[in-house]
Amino acid sequence: MITIKNLYKDYGKVKVLRGLDLTFKKGGIHTILGPNGSGKTTLIKSILGMVIPNKGTIEFNGEMIIGKWLYRNDISYLPQIANFPQNLKVKELFKMIDDLRPGAKNEAELISAFQLEPYLNKKLGNLSGGTAQKVNIVITFMFDSPLIILDEPTVGLDPVALIRLKKLIRAEKEKGKTILITTHIMSLVEEISDEIVFLLDGKIYFKGTIEKLKRQTNQNNLENAIANILEGSYA
């Protein structure tokens, strides 16, 4: 589904992506891991067209996408921080999204699942962080997109909402969707990931299953395996 070749991105003197080669096959849950500054967000924003690489190519469903935008209709994206218009009511935001991007499905079901009915007439600027994240999730999953990108999706969620989010992610996977996730929550990674990609200094340090990483680092849990990489004892 996604093929990335020789991708470079610099911000001034800071080299973020350094000749990155990466492929995500269609279907499954692919989790992108790495310390702060490793290039995770830049990689995601490059796929979305929000960042233009200095060099390299990105192919989505057989089409080169750099400098194009129509392919984004096949992507649902949940940003780490939802910057909503503060004076809009929640229901007005949903209506605006419906008008901007036709084809929303299961909106009422999602609103109910995340218990947002009491907040529909509240202004977005008055919502707590956790409630705003639930609004963000509803917007992301109300479209039937073949690619779903979730950047730190668990931020601010209570335990009930987290359970419902994981159920939602699994349901989308069962439909054959491709799901890319960035997160620092290792328990979530172990619970739902089919594949992990570990970025370090803008390069792919590991790509494969969690079990494969554990074997190659001689560790019995993911946190220790990741720590092993960061300590430099895994090559």
Q: What is the CATH number of the domain that holds 17?
A: 3.40.50.300
Report yes or no on 235 lying in a domain: no
Domain holding 64, by residue range, is: 2-230
For residue range 16-33, list pLDDT tens digits in order: 999 999 999 999 999 999
Per residue in 138-190, pLDDT (tens digit) is: 999 999 999 999 999 999 999 999 999 999 999 999 999 999 999 989 999 99
Q: Does 233 score more than 50 pLDDT?
A: no
Residue 61 lies in a domain: yes
User: Going along 13-146, which residue ranges are E strands?
Assistant: 14-24, 28-33, 55-60, 63-64, 75-78
| Residues 54-69: tens digit of each pLDDT | 999 999 999 999 889 9
Q: What is the DSSP letter of 184?
A: S
In this structure, is residue 65 part of a structural domain?
A: yes
Residue 234's pLDDT band (boundaries 50, 70, 90)? very low
The pLDDT mean for the chain works out to: 93
Whether residue 223 lies inside any domain: the answer is: yes
**How many domains does one find in the chain?**
1
| 233 or 7, which is more confident | 7
Helix, strand and coil content of the chain, in percent to the nearest 5, comes to 40, 25, 35
In the predicted structure, residue 199 carries a pLDDT above the cut 70: yes
Q: Is residue 206 part of a domain?
A: yes
Ramachandran category for residue 218: left, alpha or beta (phi over 0 → left; psi -120 to 50 → alpha): left
Domain-embedded: residue 127: yes
Q: Domain for residue 190, yes or no? A: yes
